[in-house]
Structure 1
Amino acid sequence: MPRPPTMEDVARAAGVSRSTVSRVFQNGGERVSADATVRIHEAAKRLGYVHNLVASGLALRRGRQLGLLIRDATNPAYGHLHAEMNRAVQGVDRQLISVTASRHDYGTAEVEGLNRLIGQRVAGVFVGTGVTAAEDLVETVTATPMMIVGRPNDHPQIESVSYDERTHGRLMADAIAAAGHRRIAVLTAPLLYSRVFDLRMRSLAERCGELGLTTIPVDLLPVEHGVARALDVAREEALSCIVCPVDFVALDLLRAAVARGVRIPEDVSTVGFDGLGDGLDLLGLATVRLPVAEVAREAVTRMEALLVATQEDAEGPPPPGGDQGGVDATARARHLVIPGRFLPGRTLSSAPEHLRT
């Protein structure tokens, strides 16, 4: 059976001395450059090296900074999350360092962003993106406490505070059914594009099935073609409502409808999700508003508790039987989901009588 990788193995793979690796994992990376710190963590990931937090007392050396990896902040959902996370972090007398991944990247930039945050020696990392799988995230951070915020997560080793997207999909389905709609188009995207979109639409379709509604999936991507396809399908299949997975797609659909002379909601209703963009109330878009402030506050509170727990573990005696690969994150990983609320709007009106059957 092969032996587990050691600190010496990490040092050779990263091209640094063993003492440099030791300073990164045990002494806060003092006098170690950010580039070298990143190389060391990357080497540890490749080799499967997991440092013993209990033996080193790693948590004792962390500073007052927390990191946030976030997706394209031009999306109102991410922009609001960034603002609320910053406010919540300041509330516990810490500073927030953020790295933004491109909205068009499917994971690479997110992993690189995590490595950059680690290189800044943050006390803990929040991951507020919707693409990289949790299995890849847990391998990326070998020693820094990490928490997923906003996006769906059920990984047993990563704590999370998320929007309750399952409930959001069901809330929207209930509102659509209450307005008398029976056949609807649902814009869908691959899991790789957005785990949030996928969960919302799957939950909505499941609830529609329970209510006796028929859902017709329509490919979302690329968005400008997806909304046009949805309008075509609604006309050809006599559908009375189009469900968009996010508000900015619903806005694109409204633009496409105007260009085609399609009246919203007289000819077809439409809805979105997020409820955070400025002016949505003036447009009257029916949507579900995300509980961003509540999620941010709870995430920071839980991160503080996680850092305290890690510190207590580091100060205690080693576990029975020797090195167990660090603090047992699996035993305390918790997943909290917080629901938002449905916001009615003029874009979701009663279905025409001839489309109610």
Structure 2
Amino acid sequence: MSTSASAPPEPRPPGRVRLEDVAAAAGVSRTSASRVMLGQGKVSDRTRRRVLAVADELGYVTNVAASELASGGSSTVGLLLRDASNPAYGLLFSELQKAGHAAGVTLLSMTIKHDDQGRQQVASLHRLMGMRVAGLIVATGGVTSDQLEPFRDRLPIIRAGRPESSGRIHAVSYDEEDAARRLAEHILELGHTDVAVQTARAEDSYPEFVRSTVMTQLLESRGATVHRLEYRRGHDAMDESVDLARRGRVSAVMVPSDLRQLTLIRRLHEAGLRTPEDVATTGCDGILPGIDLLGLTTMRIAVEDVAERTIANIARMIGATGIGDDAGSGGSAEAGPGDPAGGRVVHERLPGRFIQGRTAGPPRTTGRTPA
């Protein structure tokens, strides 16, 4: 019995199926098959359905890197993300993926939770480069500008989220200074004059360092007495915060993240102190699920806007899309490869939204017994 020419082709081991095999079985050119597998246009719906059906039958998997190398271009960008279990970074990851898909940019991601002075994160950037990505997005506060310098001359690179102090590295960041000022002004408006501020070290978390530093500076400039409590790995500054509140030395404690604020509130309650009746607290990020039910006083950082602007800029750098208006502000003429801003370094800072919450109220006027 003869076999019909239209019978389904016999499946082959996935690693041995070539694009030429798919094209021949589908009765189309290799170019048409390639366009279908890469999601490009210029093919009919009927051809697309036929090619995809045959590819599925054969077990064909597109080698995106090889296809992009063959075409002389790439739309794949490496993304280094710090601690995706953190709600703020988790949302940023999702929004970057969403914006990347809309812009035709594929993100190849790696994440690091704990690191020693950024060494593991720098190693991850090298690994991403080894995968022949067209550019890099660095969404972590744990890598310094000096550590990024060797990369900027080799391929387009941009920070997402963290403010960038260097005049040579592109960045789209949350306006951490604005967030800190608005929180500190709220505490002052409530009437607090004795405040504890938990402060971060720049090498541990640059965004939290900026937030805590600006909070402290503004409070002191307005005449408040500020108790600076530095935290680091192995020392969370919570005991000192609770002790100052218990002894009536402070009426408010400001911390630079909502996760720390929740820990602080728990520790205060364990010590028999109520929030905000006995001590006011503030945090920052505004991303935690159910934050409206928790009633935290905080700033909601502009995650969606940062993701959209980051992708728009990196897409221009690698030539993946024609998105956008003039990008960024400020910067020097040494922008590095793929400059999207006419010779200037992109430094965009996007403000967030204040959430008043219920954890910060006026200072208690009776019953305080300062030590």
Same topology, TM > 0.5: yes
Matches within 5 A, 1:140-155: 140-155=151-166
Query: How far apart are 1:301 and its partner, in Å?
Result: 0.8
In the alignment, what sits opposite 1:308?
Answer: 319
Residues in 2 aligned to 1:82 and 1:147: alpha-carbon distance in whole angstroms: 15
- AA paired with 1:65? T
In the alignment, what sits opposite 2:271?
Answer: 260
Q: Which has the higher contact order (CA 8 A, sep 6+)?
A: 1
Bigger proportion of residues as helix: 1
Query: How far apart are 1:88 and its partner, in Å?
Result: 0.5
Residues in 1 aligned to 2:225 and 2:132: alpha-carbon distance in whole angstroms: 51
Say whether the 8 Å CA contact 1:284–1:345 is kept in structure 2.
Answer: yes
Query: How far apart are 1:218 and its partner, in Å?
Result: 1.0
In the alignment, what sits opposite 1:92?
Answer: 103
Which of 197, 218, 234 matches 2:245?
234
Matches within 5 A, 1:184-195: 184-195=195-206
Structure-2 change in CA distance of 1:328 and 1:347 (3 Å): closer
- AA paired with 2:89? Y
In the alignment, what sits opposite 1:333?
Answer: 345
- AA paired with 2:105? R
Range 167-176 or range 205-214, more displaced: 205-214
Which deviations, in whole Å up to 9, do the C-alpha atoms of 1:79-120 show, x marking residues without a partner?
Answer: 111011000100112211111012344301110110111111
Say whether the 8 Å CA contact 2:156–2:317 is kept in structure 1.
Answer: yes
Query: How far apart are 1:254 and its partner, in Å?
Result: 1.4
Residues in 2 aligned to 1:134 and 1:246: alpha-carbon distance in whole angstroms: 23
Range 83-92 or range 136-145, more displaced: 136-145
Gaps of 5+ in 1: 1-57, 312-323
The 3-state SS of whatever aligns with 1:266 is coil
Residues in 2 aligned to 1:182 and 1:272: alpha-carbon distance in whole angstroms: 18
In the alignment, what sits opposite 2:218?
Answer: 207
In the alignment, what sits opposite 1:110?
Answer: 121
Say whether the 8 Å CA contact 2:335–2:344 is kept in structure 1.
Answer: no
Residues in 1 aligned to 2:173 and 2:85: alpha-carbon distance in whole angstroms: 20
Aligned alpha-carbon RMSD (Å): 2.6
In the alignment, what sits opposite 1:127?
Answer: 138
Query: How far apart are 1:124 and its partner, in Å?
Result: 1.2
Say whether the 8 Å CA contact 1:62–1:121 is kept in structure 2.
Answer: no
Query: How far apart are 1:170 and its partner, in Å?
Result: 0.2
Gaps of 5+ in 2: 1-68, 323-333
Residues in 2 aligned to 1:303 and 1:64: alpha-carbon distance in whole angstroms: 10
Say whether the 8 Å CA contact 1:184–1:214 is kept in structure 2.
Answer: yes
In the alignment, what sits opposite 1:283?
Answer: 294
Residues in 2 aligned to 1:308 and 1:157: alpha-carbon distance in whole angstroms: 20
Which of 361, 365, 370 matches 1:349?
361
- AA paired with 1:122? V
- AA paired with 2:360? L
The 3-state SS of whatever aligns with 1:278 is coil
Say whether the 8 Å CA contact 2:156–2:336 is kept in structure 1.
Answer: no
Residues in 1 aligned to 2:231 and 2:165: alpha-carbon distance in whole angstroms: 26
The 3-state SS of whatever aligns with 1:353 is coil
Range 137-146 or range 200-209, more displaced: 137-146
Residues in 1 aligned to 2:108 and 2:128: alpha-carbon distance in whole angstroms: 8
The 3-state SS of whatever aligns with 1:294 is helix
The 3-state SS of whatever aligns with 1:331 is coil
Query: How far apart are 1:261 and its partner, in Å?
Result: 1.4
In the alignment, what sits opposite 2:89?
Answer: 78
The 3-state SS of whatever aligns with 2:359 is coil
Structure-2 change in CA distance of 1:256 and 1:327 (3 Å): closer
- AA paired with 1:251? L
Which deviations, in whole Å up to 9, do the C-alpha atoms of 1:181-211 show, x marking residues without a partner?
Answer: 1110000122111111110011111221232
Say whether the 8 Å CA contact 1:71–1:100 is kept in structure 2.
Answer: yes
Which deviations, in whole Å up to 9, do the C-alpha atoms of 1:279-338 show, x marking residues without a partner?
Answer: 2211111011110000110111111222239x9xxxxxxxxxxxx997596932120100
In the alignment, what sits opposite 1:272?
Answer: 283
Query: How far apart are 1:241 and its partner, in Å?
Result: 0.5
Query: How far apart are 1:257 and its partner, in Å?
Result: 1.6
Query: How far apart are 1:273 and its partner, in Å?
Result: 0.5
In the alignment, what sits opposite 2:181?
Answer: 170
Residues in 2 aligned to 1:75 and 1:328: alpha-carbon distance in whole angstroms: 31
Query: How far apart are 1:262 and its partner, in Å?
Result: 1.3
Which of 74, 95, 101 matches 1:63?
74
Larger Rg: 2
Range 62-71 or range 167-176, more displaced: 62-71
Which of 148, 160, 164 matches 1:137?
148
Give the total of aligned pairs: 286
Residues in 1 aligned to 2:235 and 2:258: alpha-carbon distance in whole angstroms: 14
Residues in 1 aligned to 2:234 and 2:189: alpha-carbon distance in whole angstroms: 28
The 3-state SS of whatever aligns with 1:201 is helix
Structure-2 change in CA distance of 1:101 and 1:286 (3 Å): same
Query: How far apart are 1:223 and its partner, in Å?
Result: 6.9
Query: How far apart are 1:140 and its partner, in Å?
Result: 3.6
Which deviations, in whole Å up to 9, do the C-alpha atoms of 1:16-60 show, x marking residues without a partner?
Answer: xxxxxxxxxxxxxxxxxxxxxxxxxxxxxxxxxxxxxxxxxx9x9
Residues in 1 aligned to 2:91 and 2:351: alpha-carbon distance in whole angstroms: 16
Which of 291, 294, 298 matches 2:305?
294
* Identical residues among aligned pairs (%): 34
